[in-house]
Amino acid sequence: MRVTVLTGGTSSERDVAIASAVQVVAALRSRGHHVSVVDTAKGYIPAADEPHFLSGKVGRTPPAIEELVALERGLLLSGLGVLPVMRDADVIFVSLHGGRGEDGTLQAILDVAGVPYTGSKALGTALAMDKDVAKQLFRQAGIPTADWVMAPATPEEVEARLGWPVVVKPSKQGSTVGLSLVKSPAELIPAIELAGRYDDEVMIEAFIPGRELTVGVLDGRALAVGEILCQSEIFDYESKYTPGLAREVFPADLPGNVGEECRRLALGAHRALKLGGYSRVDFRLDGTGQPSCLEVNALPGMTATSLLPQSAAAAGIPFAELCERICLAVRSE
Ligand SMILES: Nc1ncnc2c1ncn2[C@@H]1O[C@H](COP(=O)(O)OP(=O)(O)O)[C@@H](O)[C@H]1O
Ligand SMILES: [Mg+2]
């Protein structure tokens, strides 16, 4: 296959995206595929090209459909500065996290351009990116999730609706950026202000003490459940990306049917958000053994030691095979 890995981008998770891409590229090459790399952040129309770009005239008849398809692919993707490798790829491997790469915008552009790409479509990625909408869909589908309110909210309202502590976070972010654990009323407003720097919508969610679990989903099947053990109360940016600060156990050591239940809920959450291809579903497990879904990552980290690849490996799918299956799923659509 000719695969173009689309990475970089302009979100706060740019470095994470590139870290994933480096390994995805190596894995796909190791399986004999022809791989190119594109950074979406470098795609723009230089000022010197604008006069030419904006000089199109309306003809007497509309262009043929074939011409339009070719044009759409050309025009839209030339914005990425890399026309041939985008147009000629059998599959675009989307290795972006956060921002326009994970909120459905890029997927919509690729849809219009007519190039096949990995993972979920525009709607699914957009739903998964918006934690408020996602949680409403979880509730509707019977997937347990912590109570929440959206800002603005006074400390009195939060105390009445949720109690303390709460987690304050941007509704559409990732990697724990802009997130605070708020233990007392006085900390609420500064936490909302911090989260508000990353998103105009801020969520205030009941804190669930307990264990942190994650489940990969691939091709309509829930993979192994894993547990994240980290020193801090929340799985923060530093713990996520500094080697040694968190330890992951796959499969997680869980009592009774908790693991099975998490896998069932993971698939339910994946479907509730209309996701396709693959995803990673995160849970908190409280002291009573009840899992609550935190979120679904439509484009989870993809280094060989990231959580989804570990979940796959524990289910018998090595990293290179995982990368390849993610591409093949697109081709068989
Ligand atoms: N309601 C909550 N209760 C307990 N911990 C939480 C809660 N919300 C978030 N966290 C902690 O913060 C981390 C990041 O939160 P999450 O909602 O997954 O956002 P992100 O998209 O930034 O990963 C979680 O993995 C978890 O450790
Ligand atoms: Mg998360």
pLDDT tens per residue, range 20-61: 888 998 999 999 999 888 877 654 323 343 344 333 343 445
> Closest residue (by CA) to atom 13 of ligand 1?
235
Distance 327 CA to ligand 1 centre (A): 29
Q: Tens-digit pLDDT profile for the chain (333 aa)?
A: 999 888 877 676 777 788 888 899 899 999 999 988 887 765 432 334 334 433 334 344 555 566 545 544 544 444 554 457 787 889 999 999 888 889 999 999 888 878 899 999 999 999 999 999 999 999 999 999 999 999 999 999 999 999 999 999 999 987 788 999 999 999 999 999 999 998 999 999 999 999 999 999 999 999 999 999 988 888 888 888 788 888 999 999 999 999 999 999 999 999 999 999 999 999 999 999 999 999 999 999 999 989 999 999 999 999 999 999 999 999 777
Catalytic site positions:
13, 175, 241, 280, 282, 295, 297, 301
Q: Where in the chain do CATH 3.40.50.20 domains reside?
A: 2-117
d(CA 222, CA 249): 17
Residue closest via CA to ligand 1's atom 15 equals 176
Position 79 scores a pLDDT of 57
pLDDT at 185: 97
The predicted structure's pLDDT at residue 80: 56
Ligand 1 centroid, distance to 321 Cα (angstroms): 29
Which structure tokens are listed for 200?
Answer: 């105009």
Q: Ligand 1 centroid vs 233 CA: distance in angstroms?
A: 10
User: What CATH number has the domain spanning 148-206?
Assistant: 3.30.1490.20
Q: Which helix (H) or strand (E) holds 6?
A: strand 2-7
- How far is it, in rounded angstroms, from Cα 84 to Cα 239? 39
3-state secondary structure of 22: helix
> What tens digit of pLDDT does each residue of 105-144 get?
999 988 887 889 999 999 999 999 999 999 999 999 999 9
Contacts (Cβ under 8 Å, ≥6 apart) of 215: 222, 223, 224, 225, 226, 262, 263, 266, 280, 281, 283, 311
Secondary structure, 3-state, 182-243: ECCHHHHHHHHHHHHCCCCCEEEEECCCCEEEEEEEECCEEEEEEEEEECCCCCCHHHHHCC
The strand order across the sheet containing 278-285 reads 246-249, 221-230, 211-218, 278-285, 291-297
**Mean of per-residue pLDDT scores for the chain:** 87
Nearest to 294 by CA among 262, 331, 330, 252: 262
- For 129-143+209-316, CATH number out of 3.30.470.20, 3.60.15.10, 3.40.50.300, 3.10.200.10 equals 3.30.470.20
Chain-centre distance for alpha carbon 253: 26
User: Where in the sequence of the chain do the CATH 3.30.1490.20 domains occur?
Assistant: 148-206
Q: What is the Cα–Cα distance from 109 to 79, expressed in whole angstroms?
A: 11
**pLDDT confidence of residue 42:** 52
Asked if residue 207 lies in contact with residue 165, where contact means CB atoms within 8 angstroms, the answer is yes
Q: Which atom of ligand 1 is nearest to the CA of 235?
A: 27
Q: What is the pLDDT of residue 38?
A: 82
pLDDT at position 43 is 40
Distance (Å, whole) CA 208 – CA 292? 8
Q: Which fold has domain 2-117?
A: Rossmann fold (3.40.50)
249's tokens? 């156990």
Burial class of residue 225 (count of CB atoms within 10 Å of its CB; 0-12, 13-18, 19+): buried
**Torsion angles phi and psi, residue 133, rounded to 5:** -65, -45
pLDDT for 202 equals 98
